[in-house]
Amino acid sequence: MSTSAGWEHPRTSFYTDHYELTMLQAALHSGAAHRKSVFEAFARRLPDGRRYGIVAGTGRLLEGIANFRFGDAELDFLSRTNVVNSQTLEYLASYRFSGDIWGYAEGEAYFPNSPILIVEGTFAEACMLETYILSVLNHDSAIASAASRMVSAAGGRPCIEMGSRRTHEEAAAAAARAAVIAGFGSTSNLEAGIRYGIRTVGTAAHSFTLLHDTEREAFEAQIASLGASTSLLVDTYDVEQAVRTAVDIAGPQLGAVRLDSGDLVAQAQWVRRLLDDLGNEQTKIVVTSDLDEYAIAALQSAPVDAYGVGTSLVTGSGAPTASMVYKLVSRTDDDGEFVSVAKAAKNKASVGGRKYALRKLDSRGTATAEVVGVGHRPEDDGNDRPLLQQFMKNGELLPGWTGAEAVQRASRRHAESMAELPPVVNRLQRGEAAIPTFYEEN
């Protein structure tokens, strides 16, 4: 289950809200705590202008659920602050999730009302996971959804995640993981590298150039240390002079130049011409500087080889949460029979019943709709694809869904899922979801 030999997952039981435990206490008091229950995580809507979302965070979440325990420190805090009573403390001391978890694979596209995660267990076991589940899925899926749009706008040119300094230190590693799932090729974040086996990259910032008496001395030092294939940041002073100096020192083996300011489209065009004129046809151009999917799309006509994306990525490019919710949709009654339950509040109604999801595909393999069966599996017409995978059985993690292997697997799943969707998803203008979601009742 561990993500790497260099990192141990922390205990996660306090990544939650106070009221999860007071609900537990009241349910233990009423005798309903051990009723078998089915909870579902889903998004009622997509962010404005978005036509799909991408699932991410499930692997991190499963690792966290496996570490959702209450040790002496946690139990002592709950006792001395009177959060819960002694009966509840006794239950928590031996807490371990022992149910089943199903859901959409990481990297999969989702739409409004897609049953992204289904948690089956007792109410006591499953209700406490609400805050943690939503914290992970809302953050990571928001990042992956933004990253997917950026990858589409890049049109096959590599994207580099480099937003660590614009977010919380733990969120930075999670964001890098989510970005790679959605098609980014690498990250600047070393913690993401050791935890998730992600390729890390980076060379130097403006401060390195400013440290030296001249730009030439800075470039000479970097090339001598890192080799001619390094990337040189050429906009500290005068871009044209910097490019000429870089080529003079490194020759045609110079790996790349990075542009971080100014009119990137115009600048990339004349820098490309200059590099070619100097005999550096193979030297690449990397651009950074507050890029988002719209800026990347505007650079499609420019001779850019790679994009470095930071702030917009780690903030979800205007949608920092996926707006997912976690609702009880089914539970047993006093006779042990499952009954559907649902919230009926205006604008926040949910659909009760255990869900099963299927993506309808036409003869060309293009998605046309998502069908969600309530209490039954929708019929497969032969071309269709079931969406729910089992991640945990009887509290045990099933292989393949966590660690570095899961990240690479999810990245492949993202590419496959995007290939299924209609071409409309690649358009950045406003519009409805790429495909509709239908409920199919018994």
DSSP alpha helix (H) spans, 328-438: 403-420
Please write the tens of the pLDDT for every residue from 291-343.
999 999 999 999 999 999 999 999 999 999 999 999 999 999 999 999 999 98
Whether residue 399 sits in one domain with residue 262: no
| Confidence bin at 60 (pLDDT 50/70/90) | very high
Mean pLDDT along residues 161-182:
97
Instruction: Look at residue 160 and tell me if it is in a domain.
Output: yes
- CA gap 219, 368 in Å, rounded: 53
E strand residue ranges, 198-341: 231-233, 256-259, 284-287, 306-309, 324-332, 338-340
CA distance 368 to 164: 38
CB 133 within 8 A of CB 148: no
pLDDT in tens, 367-415: 999 999 999 999 998 889 999 999 999 999 999 999 999 999 999 999 9
Q: Which of 288, 315, 342 is the last residue of a domain?
A: 315
**Angle of CA points 190, 202, 246, to nearest 5°:** 165
Domain boundary among 263, 280, 315: 315
Same domain, 118 and 221: no
What's residue 7's pLDDT?
Answer: 59
Q: Which pLDDT score, from 0 to 100, does residue 155 have?
A: 94
Instruction: Give the separation between CA 16 and CA 61, rounded to whole angstroms.
Output: 13
How many domains does the chain fold into? 2
Domain contains 283: yes
Q: Does residue 91 sit in the same domain as residue 198?
A: no
Confidence grade of residue 6 (pLDDT, cut at 50, 70, 90):
low
- Same-domain status, 123 and 197: no
**232 - beta bridge partners?**
257
Q: 156 and 302: one domain?
A: yes
Residue 5, pLDDT above cutoff 70: no
What's the pTM value of the predicted model, to 2 decimals? 0.95
Q: What is the mean pLDDT of residues 269-283?
A: 98
Residues 198 and 308 in one domain: yes
Of 273, 328, 327, 345, nearest to 303 by C-alpha is 273
Contact 356, 372 (CB under 8 A): yes
Question: 138 exposed, middle or buried (CB, 10 Å; 0-12, 13-18, 19+)?
Answer: buried
pLDDT at residue 163, rounded to an integer: 97
Distance CA 38, CA 423 (A): 35
Over residues 138-160, mean pLDDT:
97
User: Tokens representing 267?
Assistant: 């600048």
What CATH number did the domain enclosing 175 receive? 3.20.20.70
pLDDT of residue 4: 53
Percent of the chain whose predicted confidence (pLDDT) is above 70: 98
Place of tokens 């589409």: 152
Burial of 20 (0-12, 13-18, 19+ CB in 10 A): middle
Summary mean pLDDT of the chain: 95
Helix (H) or strand (E) holding 54: strand 53-54
Look at residue 51 and tell me whether its pLDDT is greater than 70: yes
Among 435, 434, 412, 410, CA closest to 105: 410
| Same-domain pairing of 431 and 369 | yes
Residues 279 and 253 sit within 8 Å (Cβ to Cβ): no
What is the residue range of 111's domain?
A: 18-145+319-435
Residue 333 CB partners (closer than 8 Å, separation 6+): 35, 339
Per-residue pLDDT at 1 exceeds 60: no
- For residue 321, the model assigns a pLDDT of 96
Q: Is 305 a domain residue?
A: yes
Same domain, 404 and 370: yes
Residue 45, domain member (yes or no):
yes
Residue 212's CB is within 10 A of a number of other CB atoms, namely: 14
Question: Are residues 304 and 329 both part of a single domain?
Answer: no
* Residue 373 is assigned to a structural domain of this protein: yes
- The encoded tokens of residue 332 equal 């047993």
pLDDT of residue 430: 77
Which pLDDT belongs to residue 429? 75
CATH number of the domain that residue 350 is part of: 3.20.140.10
Residue with tokens 């205990």: 11
